[in-house]
Amino acid sequence: MKTITLYNGVQVPQLGLGVFKAAQGEETEDAVKWALEAGYRHIDTAAVYGNERSVGKAVRESGIPREDVFITAKVWNSDIRAGRAEDAFFRTLDNLQTDYVDLYLLHWPVEGKEYAWSQLEDLYVQKRIRAIGVSNFHPQHLEELMEQARIKPMVDQLESHPLMNNQELIDYLQANEIAVGAWSPLGGPQLPLLQHPVLLELAEKYHRTPAQIVLRWDIQRNIFVIPKSTHRERIISNSEIFDFELAEEDMERIRSLDRNFRVGPDPDNFNF
Ligand code: A2P
């Protein structure tokens, strides 16, 4: 598995399984189990997904040593606003039944993010978290955070797929040594992205699925990517992206599909 090295030296497996909207219980447990069997070593969850217990259970039951699985978790907005990021973190540890998290993120840039960040910094210094970061932060949110921060975020996780590639933001983050993760890399459940004629054409050219083409494009953009699926065949096929390479002109073709078309909330204008 290829990795992205964060500025503190921690390595993030470039492919992770996303479990947003996977139900607590069998659905999440099976998805995580199938992913680990297929070679994934990175699982991305969040308090608000309500499935941390199932993620923890599946990782434990896999028999794979804890230190070989990279677990990302996120503190939810209500806890950030209420100044309870530390409590939220220990609740997450209890749900996951583990004693550390690999990557812990502020889920959205809400009021109280600066204090929440200071709590994450303390937990990082105490080695309860191997890397700390943010999600859905634009440059101005990062600047606000950095006015008081002691430690620069190591990661920003954001929406990115061919119709909303967010490349300008990604370039900014990478220039500042902040690693980037893409959520909804396949455009989420609603968007018919995987039927786009250009992706179908490239799928035929490389003898791959459109999803594999998109995920490979992400790998070659040097970001990590967390496609969600609860179907075994898709989980497996989404992982088969490390044995081929897209030509530069095809990278560019996918890049040119950008329409600034969001499938998720806008970090500059959301109400939750
Ligand atoms: P499912 O869980 O039913 O497989 P995202 O872009 O947010 O990661 O979402 C991916 C969406 O696309 C999910 O709804 C998932 O649904 C579906 N999906 C995941 N992998 C594939 C694939 N290889 N082909 C088609 N659909 C996929």
Give the distance (Å) from ligand 1 centre to CA of residue 197: 18
* Residue 236 falls inside a structural domain: no
Give the distance (Å) from ligand 1 centre to CA of residue 159: 15
Instruction: Give the DSSP H or E segment for 59.
Output: helix 52-62
Residue tagged 């099976």 (tokens) = 30
CB distance 189 to ligand 1 below 6 Å: yes
Q: Which atom of ligand 1 is nearest to the CA of 212?
A: 23
* Residue 270 falls inside a structural domain: no
CB distance 187 to ligand 1 below 6 Å: yes
* Residue 260 falls inside a structural domain: no
| Residue 49 a catalytic site member | yes
Residue in 6, 265, 268 with CA at minimum distance from that of residue 129: 6
CA 236 vs CA 35, 81, 190: distances in Å: 7, 38, 21
* Residue 50 falls inside a structural domain: yes
Give the distance (Å) from ligand 1 centre to CA of residue 227: 7
* Residue 71 falls inside a structural domain: yes
Catalytic residue among 40, 49, 104, 124: 49
Number of independent structural domains in the chain: 1
Question: Residue 123's domain spans which residues?
Answer: 3-186+222-229
* Residue 250 falls inside a structural domain: no
* Residue 176 falls inside a structural domain: yes
Per-residue confidence in pLDDT tens, the chain, 272 aa: 899 999 999 999 999 999 999 999 999 999 999 999 999 999 999 999 999 999 999 999 999 999 999 999 999 999 999 999 999 999 999 999 999 999 999 999 999 999 999 999 999 999 999 999 999 999 999 999 999 999 999 999 999 999 999 999 999 999 999 999 999 999 999 889 999 999 999 999 999 999 999 999 999 999 999 999 999 999 999 999 999 999 999 999 999 999 999 999 999 999 99
pTM: 0.98
Q: Are the beta carbons of 268 and 169 closer than 8 angstroms?
A: no
Q: In CATH, what number is assigned to the domain containing residue 114?
A: 3.20.20.100
Give the distance (Å) from ligand 1 centre to CA of residue 228: 6
Residue in 216, 86, 80, 98 with CA at minimum distance from that of residue 141: 80
In the chain the beta strands, taken as DSSP E runs, fall at 3-5, 11-13, 17-18, 42-44, 70-75, 101-106, 129-135, 155-159, 179-183, 224-225
- Alpha-carbon distance of 46 to 89, in angstroms, equals 10
Nearest residue CA, atom 13 of ligand 1?
189
* Residue 167 falls inside a structural domain: yes
